Amino acid sequence: MESLAKLFGSAARLKVLRLFIFNKDASFAPASIAERTKLTKEVVRRELAELCAADLLRKKTVQAAVRYQTNPRFEHLGALETFIRETTAVQPQNMLKALKRAGVLRLVALSGFFTGVLETQIDLLVVGDTLDERVLANAVRSLEAELGREIRYASFATADFRYRLGVYDRLLRDVFDYPHRLLVDKIGL
């Protein structure tokens, strides 16, 4: 990410860019952008001004509230979107480091966004013992801030996962019947 941050001016700009590229149809208030990217409001305000000046974003006022949205007529939007999508990745060791704080991991599977198959129900499957859901949710939110996109995830206790696997649960079939990547497999799939 460091080389891309240098290319785009800063890590903050890259986070804001990813947010708008991966959510082209959505509009965001500055406070929402700051929350989703985990940046300060001042940094967000500066980056929004730069991206509006470049004509990548449009500023609009909705019921006296300022919102920003990707400009669909930006001449390089397609090329920028392709570039950002192909270069956006989280290092597996960084992802596991964040997830390990939630408990003892038995299985971590990536699908959906992480494998390029956007039709799946979830992007991240976490199975573990004594998982703290609050810590797991915080870890996923920090990954979302890094990626600029919402991550759909599911977590299960090991016994519950084994039961669901045995009854051919639809959610699990959605992960394992399509391209997926196992980061941790202590269950023996």
Question: Could you report the per-residue pLDDT of 124-175, keeping only the tens digit for each?
Answer: 999 998 899 999 999 998 888 878 788 899 999 999 999 999 999 999 998 9
Q: How far apart are CA 50 and CA 101, in angstroms?
A: 36
- Number of structural domains the chain divides into: 2
Closest CA to 38 of 135, 155, 139: 139
Q: Is the pLDDT of residue 1 over 60?
A: no
> Which CATH number do you get for residue 25?
1.10.10.10
- Residue 122, domain extent: 92-185
Phi, psi (rounded to 5 degrees) for 124: -140, 130
pLDDT digit string, tens, across residues 25-67: 889 999 999 998 889 999 999 999 989 988 999 998 878 889 9
31 shares its domain with 104: no
Identify the pLDDT of residue 41.
93
